[in-house]
Amino acid sequence: MLKVVHWSKEEEEVTRDLGGKNGRDEGQASEIESEKERLERLSLMATISAGLAHDLTPPLAAITLQLRALARQVNLAEELAQNGGNGKLSAAFDACRSSLVSVGEQAEFMRNLLRDFIRISAGKGKGGQRSDVRGAVQAAVRLSRPLLRDHATIEVAAPGDLYSRVDEETIVRTLVHLLLNAGDAFPIVANVGNRIRVTAKPAGDEIQIEVTDNGPGVPPEVVPRLFEPFATSKRRGLGLGLAVGRALLRRAGGDLELVSTGRLGTTFLARLPVSTVD
Q: What is the mean pLDDT of residues 161-188?
A: 87
Contacts of 266 by beta carbon, 8 Å cutoff, 6+ apart: 182, 185, 212, 213, 215, 217, 218, 258, 260
Better pLDDT: 74 or 146: 146
| pLDDT above 60: residue 238 | no
Q: Taking the CA atoms of the chain, what radius of gyration do you get in angstroms?
A: 26
Better pLDDT: 24 or 187: 187
Q: Is the pTM of this model over 0.85?
A: no
Classify domain 129-273 by CATH number. 3.30.565.10
Domain ranges of the chain: 8-125, 129-273
Predicted pLDDT at 269: 97
Predicted pLDDT at 51: 58
Closest by CA to 264, choosing from 185, 198, 204, 202, is 185
pLDDT above 70: percentage of residues in the chain: 63
How far apart (Å, rounded) are the C-alpha atoms in residues 9 and 45? 54
pLDDT band at 1 (very low <50, low <70, confident <90, very high): very low
How far apart (Å, rounded) are the C-alpha atoms in residues 83 and 89? 10
Predicted pLDDT at 5: 45
Better pLDDT: 227 or 83: 227
Better pLDDT: 236 or 51: 51
| 105-111 long-range contacts, CB within 8 A, separation 24+ | 105/139, 105/142, 105/143, 106/59, 106/60, 106/62, 106/63, 106/66, 106/143, 106/146, 107/59, 107/63, 109/59, 109/143, 109/172, 109/176, 110/56, 110/59, 110/60
The CA–CA distances, whole Å, from 91 to 64, 65, 77, 83, 104 equal: 21, 19, 9, 15, 20
pLDDT above 90: percentage of residues in the chain: 24
Better pLDDT: 273 or 14: 273
| pLDDT above 50: residue 236 | no
Residue 17 DSSP code? H
Beta strands 163-164 and 131-132 are antiparallel
| pLDDT above 80: residue 119 | no
pLDDT band at 84 (very low <50, low <70, confident <90, very high): low
Predicted pLDDT at 203: 94
Predicted pLDDT at 263: 87
The CA–CA distances, whole Å, from 180 to 16, 86, 95, 239 equal: 64, 38, 24, 12
Predicted pLDDT at 41: 58
Q: What is the mean pLDDT of the chain?
A: 76
Better pLDDT: 268 or 37: 268
Better pLDDT: 42 or 254: 254
Residues in the chain: 278
